[in-house]
Amino acid sequence: MLDGIYVLMVVDEKMKNDAPTENAIEETPSESTGSEDVAEDTKTEEVPESSNEDETEEEMIEDVVEQKPAGSSRDKDNLYEEIEIPEGIVANIDDDVLTMKKDDKEIKRKLVSLIDVEIKGNKIVVSATRNRKIERKLFGTFKAHVNNMIKGLTEGFEYKLRVSNVHFPMNVSYDANKNLFTIKNFLGEKKDRIINGIPGVDVSVKGEDVIVTGFDIEKTGQVATNIEKGARIRNKDRRIFQDGIHMIAKPGRVYLE
């Protein structure tokens, strides 16, 4: 009898414990439905905000397109530079050759295939449609060439060399009519060393200094280099034989004053 009563009591306790769980299960759907309703309300509220943002972005894109249309040369991915032409200089392009003139001075530069060069009013426009490594190199180089052409016609370029005598007194002279630079008694040599000049480049001798001036930076630098190489020493110890004509200043650099 006692065992049967004990079993009945256990069953009753299980029924009591199971009853609230069923109620909880019945209540959970109502809570979940409430959360879903809240989520739907939030979604319905967020829809108009996203539509407003889309409209503002479209307006911004239209403004950018109007200011910088697609494929324009002013795009940040393209290379573009405008160089102003000073007064008195005339520039034109003929057969892929850029020519600049001022009075009786004239400089020519052949154009590069990957770089576009145009003359618009009083400006030279240098641009490139692509922005690869080779275009960037050519763009910077040709832009420097154009600036040097303008500077040469307006200001000119100057190279300065100095005559150095250690063992034998060396005499230098320049004949403007024949455009020849002469070095006499270099290291006691009986034969004079003669360097040919280039038309458009002037050479003057002032004491120990040799000054080379011109409006074309390439021609001027070439004459200065030829004079320096004309007094070059070979097969001798340079620590002892320091005679020669050495460059001490050139555009943008000063080695010795």
Going from N- to C-terminal start, the domains of the chain cover 79-154, 157-254
Q: Which pLDDT score is estimated for 60?
A: 56
Q: Which pLDDT score is estimated for 57?
A: 54
Which is the CATH superfamily of the domain at 157-254?
A: Ribosomal protein L6 (3.90.930.12)
Q: Which pLDDT score is estimated for 140?
A: 93
Cβ neighbour number for residue 63 with a 10 Å cutoff: 10
Domain 79-154 and domain 157-254 have a common topology? yes
Question: For residue range 16-62, what is the model confidence (pLDDT) as tens digits?
Answer: 455 444 444 444 444 444 445 544 444 444 444 444 444 455 565 45
Which is the CATH superfamily of the domain at 79-154?
A: Ribosomal protein L6 (3.90.930.12)
Q: Which pLDDT score is estimated for 26?
A: 46
Question: For residue range 203-244, what is the model confidence (pLDDT) as tens digits?
Answer: 999 989 999 999 999 999 999 999 999 988 888 887 888 888
Average pLDDT over residues 115-144: 92
Among 63-77, 81-95, 148-162, name the one with the lowest average pLDDT: 63-77
Q: Which pLDDT score is estimated for 23?
A: 45
The H or E element that residue 116 is part of is strand 116-120
Question: For residue range 166-190, what is the model confidence (pLDDT) as tens digits?
Answer: 878 889 999 999 999 999 988 888 8
User: In 3D, which of 14, 134, 12 has the Cα closest to residue 79?
Assistant: 134
- Quick check: 8 pLDDT over 50? no
Q: HSE, CB side, 13 Å, CA atoms: give it for residue 41.
A: 6
The residues, ordered by sequence, that sit 6+ positions from 111 with a Cβ below 8 Å of its Cβ are 93, 96, 97, 98, 117, 142
Which residue has better confidence, 236 or 150? 150
- Euclidean distance between CA atoms 242 and 165, whole angstroms: 8
Q: Which pLDDT score is estimated for 169?
A: 87
Q: Which pLDDT score is estimated for 49?
A: 47
